[in-house]
């Protein structure tokens, strides 16, 4: 009974929180409308002659374009009530009629996307037959992310090995369990021991295949951190990187001079990690050719 009572209380608490969030959303929206913030944002575009006025929504063609734009731009299903609140002049029946017209129009034109109804709202979605092509793009994006993550992890290990997985994660700021497993499968890193701390976690280091992959005889051939910094600084000038166009005028007296740290001759830790990534990426650009 105690368990059931606790469950009921938890559900009641969640329901109250949900209601409170809705009330806060409505209150914030009302305050924005009363303060004129929304009108001000629209007025900024009106001065540029780019915005569509509310009275123009009386034209069915213009209204259809606005509704289509709202559905297209929304990151989640957009309900008729939300569209009505945004447009202010369109009714729920008018919005439903416009959506039906858009659906019919997309079908007649054999467009690769369609409007679907999800969770009480409208969402623009690509058709199922195009899923394999979209999946290719998604896989390419994930592959780039995986490659970048692997290179960063390899760079950290190359300069600071042996390290535990927790130490790598501390330096990178993200979970690396999947990356470590992948690198071990490719025989680029290996377990070199256990750290003498509670739990005795595994220590990881690079392998001979890592040296072969990047064309190194030994780890001593890795460029020093100061050399990497010089390569980066000489390859891209600050003016070229930042551009020469002045966006805003800043009074000279308001700008504090930047104090550069003295060069102690010893590599710093954190900046070194970033530089390592750049160098490993340069070496890694030839890697696929070697593997093939």
**Domains along the sequence of the chain with CATH:** 29-126 (1.10.10.10), 134-241+268-291 (1.10.10.10)
Buried-exposed string 108-122: b where 16+ CB fall within 10 A, e elsewhere: eeeeeeebeeeeebb
Instruction: Answer whether residue 178 shows pLDDT above 80.
Output: yes
Q: Which two tokens stand for residue 157?
A: 């290990």
The proportion of the chain whose per-residue pLDDT surpasses 70, expressed as a percent, equals 66
**Better pLDDT: 22 or 93:** 93
The pTM for the full model equals 0.43
Phi/psi of residue 129, nearest 5 degrees: -70, -15
What's the pLDDT tens digit per position in 234-261? 665 555 545 544 444 445 544 444 544 4
**Better pLDDT: 291 or 93:** 93
Q: What is the pLDDT of residue 254?
A: 46
Q: What is the pLDDT of residue 281?
A: 43
* Mean pLDDT confidence for 161-186: 89
**Better pLDDT: 124 or 214:** 124
Q: What is the DSSP letter of 252?
A: G
**Better pLDDT: 66 or 142:** 66
Q: What is the pLDDT of residue 250?
A: 47
Phi/psi of residue 167, nearest 5 degrees: -70, -40
Tell me the pLDDT band of 225, cut-offs 50, 70 and 90.
confident
Tell me the pLDDT band of 50, cut-offs 50, 70 and 90.
low
* Contact predicate 67/83, CB 8 Å: yes
- CA atoms 157, 160, 164, 166: torsion sign: negative
Neighbouring CB atoms inside 10 A of 137's CB total 9
CA gap 159, 216 in Å, rounded: 14
CA gap 23, 19 in Å, rounded: 6
Query: What spatial distance separates the first Cα and last Cα of the chain, rounded to whole Å?
Result: 65
Tell me the pLDDT band of 41, cut-offs 50, 70 and 90.
low
The proportion of the chain whose per-residue pLDDT surpasses 90, expressed as a percent, equals 26
**Better pLDDT: 7 or 73:** 73
User: Cα separations (Å) of 289 from 114, 130, 141, 151?
Assistant: 42, 32, 21, 16
* Mean pLDDT confidence for 110-132: 91
The single residue listed with the structure tokens 């966006």 is 247
User: Any idea which of 18-27, 193-202, 212-221, 232-241 has the lowest mean pLDDT?
Assistant: 232-241
Q: What is the pLDDT of residue 203?
A: 94
Instruction: Answer whether residue 289 shows pLDDT above 50.
Output: no
* Mean pLDDT confidence for 266-282: 44
Mean of all residue pLDDT scores within the chain: 76
Q: Which two tokens stand for residue 19?
A: 């209601």
Q: What is the pLDDT of residue 115?
A: 93
Instruction: Answer whether residue 16 shows pLDDT above 70.
Output: yes
């Amino acid at each position: 009974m105690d368990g059931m009572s606790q469950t009921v209380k938890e559900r009641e608490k969640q329901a109250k929180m949900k209601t409170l969030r809705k009330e806060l959303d409505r209150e914030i929206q009302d305050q924005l409308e009363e303060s004129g913030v929304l009108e001000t944002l629209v007025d900024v575009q009106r001065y540029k002659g780019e915005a569509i006025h509310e009275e123009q929504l009386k034209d069915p063609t213009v209204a259809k374009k606005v509704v289509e734009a709202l559905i297209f731009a929304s990151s989640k299903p957009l309900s008729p009530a939300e569209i009505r609140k945004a447009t202010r002049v369109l009714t729920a029946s008018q919005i439903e009629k416009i959506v039906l017209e858009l659906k019919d129009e997309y079908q007649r034109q054999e467009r690769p996307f369609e409007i679907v109804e999800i969770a009480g709202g409208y969402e623009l979605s690509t058709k199922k037959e195009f899923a394999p092509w979209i999946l290719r793009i998604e896989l390419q994006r994930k592959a780039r992310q995986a490659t970048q993550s692997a290179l960063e992890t390899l760079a950290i290990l190359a300069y600071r090995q042996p390290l535990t997985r927790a130490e790598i994660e501390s330096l990178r700021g993200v979970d690396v369990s999947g990356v470590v497993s992948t690198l071990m499968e490719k025989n680029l890193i290996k377990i070199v021991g256990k750290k003498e701390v509670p739990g005795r976690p595994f220590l990881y280091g690079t392998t001979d295949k890592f040296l072969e992959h990047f064309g190194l005889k030994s780890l001593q051939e890795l460029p020093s951190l100061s050399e990497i910094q010089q390569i980066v600084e000489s390859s891209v000038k600050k003016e070229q990187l930042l551009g020469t166009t002045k966006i805003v005028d800043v009074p000279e007296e308001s700008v504090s001079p930047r104090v550069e740290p003295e060069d102690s001759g010893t590599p710093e830790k954190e900046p070194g990690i970033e530089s390592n990534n750049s160098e490993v990426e340069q070496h890694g650009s030839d890697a696929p050719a070697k593997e093939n």
